[in-house]
Amino acid sequence: MSKYENCKKSVLEASIWLSEAGFFGSHRGTGGNVSVRADEAALAITPSSVKYQEIRASDICVVGFDLSFIDGNDKLKPSVEAGMHSIIYQNRPDVNAVIHTHQIYGSIFSIINTPIPALFDEVSFSLGPVIEIIPYALSGTPELVNNVAGKLSNNANAYVLQNHGILALGKTLDKAILHAELLEKVANIYCLALSTGKPINTLPEAISELAMNIRNYEVQEAQGKK
């Protein structure tokens, strides 16, 4: 049995749940990807171009942060977004799981190029005071990796990928899934609120600052443990 067996099973279970819940945009497609930090310099990630209902735990790819093959089905390639996941783990010691989805309401903000402001304290404390837009680049390219890296210093747990989808990060895979759900909740509500044409009430500045301080503290704490 591979020492990565538990990581691979958790990635598979999360991927199937996200697919069935509609977070990948289609039930029969292969869009989106899920990963966990497998050890100090490796990650376990979904394979490329395989339907989630057809993936087995043994198909989950384990690669080094340099994307070198470590474990899995050597006939399958890791997700084309493996580099994007890798750069997150390398820059964010507080993150142990990454989810990239094509969820509907989050994706709306990817095409209107609009950040989601601090609207609810629950969301802001978990995700950060602002869900920022990461500039567009073609999937799987070094340009996209660089664009993601350029936003990570805000220590948020969610981002919108311009004309693409969303990223949700977490200390655990369960937290990353929760953060994807929270992003979809606030994106749904914000979209409906904007459609009324009425002014949007954001959280008081003091609460936004508190949310930022919470996120910064959690990252600094993780850095101290590494």
What residues are annotated to the active site? 81
Task: Output the pLDDT for position 152.
Answer: 97
Q: Can you give the residue range of the structural domain that contains 106? A: 5-225
Nearest by Cα to 99 from 177, 183, 21: 177
DSSP string, 197-216: TSPP-PPPHHHHHHHHHHHH
Task: Output the pLDDT for position 226.
Answer: 59
CATH number at residue 27: 3.40.225.10
Task: Give the phi and the psi of residue 150 in degrees, each rounded to 5.
Answer: -70, -15
For the chain, the domain total comes to: 1
Q: Which residues contact 9 (CB under 8 A, 6 or more apart)?
A: 57
Query: Which positions of the chain have pLDDT values less than 50?
Result: none
Rounded distance between C-alpha atoms, residue 99 and residue 11, angstroms = 10
Task: Output the pLDDT for position 27.
Answer: 73
Nearest by Cα to 158 from 185, 137, 138: 185
Task: Output the pLDDT for position 11.
Answer: 98
Global pTM?
0.95
The Cα diameter of the chain in Å comes to 58
Task: Output the pLDDT for position 1.
Answer: 61
Q: Which residues contact 127 (CB under 8 A, 6 or more apart)?
A: 156, 157, 158, 179, 182, 183, 186
pLDDT in tens, 30-77: 789 999 999 999 999 999 999 999 999 999 999 999 999 999 999 999
Contact 7, 88 (CB under 8 A): no
b/e per residue, 98-110, with b = 16+ CB within 10 A?
Answer: bbbbbbebbbbbb
Nearest by Cα to 223 from 73, 137, 132, 94: 94
Rounded distance between C-alpha atoms, residue 38 and residue 225, angstroms = 17
